[in-house]
Amino acid sequence: MLCLAATAADGNAAGAEAKAEPQAQQRDRQQDWRRERQQGRPPADARGGPGAKPGNRNSQEMRRRAGGGKGAGPGAGGKPRTGGRPGGRPPMFVGVDPVREGPLTRTEPVIGRIVATRKGVIAARVAGSVVAIDVAVGEHVGKGRILARQDTSAAEARLAYETAELELSQQELKRFEALRTNRSAAFARSRYDTAVHRLARAKANVRLAQLAIEGAVVVAPFDGVVVRKATELGAYLKDGAAVVELVNDTDVEIEADVPADRLNGLRPGRVISFKLRDGGVPRRARVRAVLPMQNALTRTQAVRLVPVDAVPAVRFSINQAVTVDVPLGATRTVVSVHKDAIVNRGATRLVFLVEGGRAVPRPVRLGDAIGSRFVVLAGAAPGDIAVVRGNERLRPGQAVRHRPPMGAAAQRRPGNRDPGNRDPGNRGPADRSPAN
């Protein structure tokens, strides 16, 4: 019994001594860690090195030892990310544009202007002071609208005088005709002829007085807009003096000075396109005439065109600038590719075509540049899908994917889109970017 008690006591003492020893070591390590932090030295890693704070574990170290999670490599139990394609690189998302075939007309832009078919200064027909002006600048007036009135008092008095002279001449001529009918000795042929001429002159004077009264009212000879007033109320005008300036803004034409060597495609009756220089939509105009006068300095000839698509809500401004697309020849059918599809590799020009879900380089021979496209003489066919975005980073045979071309349901041929290359569960930012 005594032996057992002594043995138990010795075991309890040894256990207490063994438990107290690690606690002392832990306190020493904590004191060393605090001392190193106060001295400015960086703590050691969290795997038990010198200076490491006891009880702390690095989260990445814990995940590494657990064998998985974010940041775990293949040796720690993690699975490599391959973008949805086991054993290879993910397909590259590119923008595409189809190779097109269609009618093409080479054009050259020429600056033109809107001109009015009818404009001019409306002048007074008789002399007289202005007693009324019935229009304002900027006002639209119709044909026959009264623009101004002049004083007619003098013309009315002259009309009364000439009317009395006419009546006197008529009576005198009747008396001579009676003497001639009766064969009177008082009849004189010379006096009869003078009475006939006097009556004709009296009629003419009456008509002149009437025209003076009518001319005192200034009216618009055509529809238009008053752009300038040349007189004011109370001013005295001589015959021929300006009253207002009128411009017809509804019946307009386009005048363009075209180089003489570009007139072959401009025949009267041909319809071409033009556009206002304010960002408007293209419109059509018909060639009316090519003026047979050439400018000796610029070697250009004026061409007149009539707008075809008349829009009532749109009013052109006189002398407004327009861009006329002058055709350089007849319309022809060509194959074209977008300029962004061309890749220069030394002296060779390439186009990457999408075939079977892969980028295939194809050397091409190009023709003229028309707008944003090149004419393809050889190397590509209508309906081919050309890469226009991301082609500078492509390698021959690289897997690619893209959206269908806009409005090209007929272009959805086998190989344009490879459904097996698309991983719905691994969509990157490229999947949300536009194809073009």
How confident is the model over 319-354, as pLDDT tens digits?
Answer: 989 999 888 766 778 888 888 888 888 888 889 898
State the amino acid at position 249 in one-letter form: D
Residue 128: how many other CB atoms lie within 10 Å: 21
Return the pLDDT at 419: 37
Residue 264: CA atoms inside 13 Å, Cβ hemisphere, count?
Answer: 9
Q: Which two three-digit tokens encode residue 323?
A: 């861009």
pLDDT score for 373: 83
pLDDT, position 391 = 84
Query: What's the maximum distance between 2 C-alpha atoms anywhere in the chain?
Result: 203
Give the torsion through C-alpha atoms of 365, 370, 373, 376, to 10 deg: -20
What residues in the chain have per-residue pLDDT under 70?
A: 1-22, 24, 33, 36-88, 186, 279, 310-314, 329-330, 405-436
For the stretch 370-402, pLDDT in tens is 778 888 888 888 888 888 888 888 888 888 888
- Over the chain, what is the mean pLDDT? 76
Given this model, what pLDDT does residue 80 score?
42
Residue 55: left if φ>0, alpha if ψ -120 to 50, beta else—which one? left
Contact 244, 229 (CB under 8 A): yes
Rounded to whole angstroms, the Cα distance separating 436 from 191 reads: 102
Closest to 269 (Cα-Cα) out of 253, 282, 256, 285: 285
High-pLDDT (> 70) share of the chain, %:
72
Are 315 and 251 a contacting pair, CB within 8 Å? Answer: no
Domains of the chain: 92-101+333-432 (2.40.420.20), 121-246 (2.40.50.100), 250-329 (2.40.30.170)
What is the distance between the alpha carbons of residues 256 and 120, in angstroms, rounded to a whole number? 21
pLDDT at 18: 47
Contact criterion met (CB below 8 Å) for 61 and 46: yes
Question: What residues contact 151, with CB distance under 8 A and at least 6 apart?
Answer: 128, 129, 130, 131, 216
3-state secondary structure the chain: CHHHHHHHHHHHHHHHHHHHHHHHHHHHHHHHHHHHHHCCCCCCCCCCCCCCCCCCCCHHHHHHHHCCCCCCCHHHCCCCCCCCCCCCCCCEECEEEECEEEEECCEEEEEEEEEECCEEEEECCCCEEEEEECCCCCCEECCCCEEEEECCHHHHHHHHHHHHHHHHHHHHHHHHHHHHHHCCCCCCHHHHHHHHHHHHHHHHHHHHHHHHHHHCEEECCCCEEEEEECCCCCCEECCCCEEEEEECCCCEEEEEEEEHHHCCCCCCCCEEEEEECCCCCCEEEEEEEEEEEECCCCCEEEEEEEECCCCCCCCCCCCCEEEEEEECCCCEEEEEEEHHHEEEECCEEEEEEEECCEEEEEECEEEEEECCEEEEEECCCCCCEEEEECHHHCCCCCEEECCCCCCCHHHCCCCCCCHHHCCCCCCCHHHHCCCC
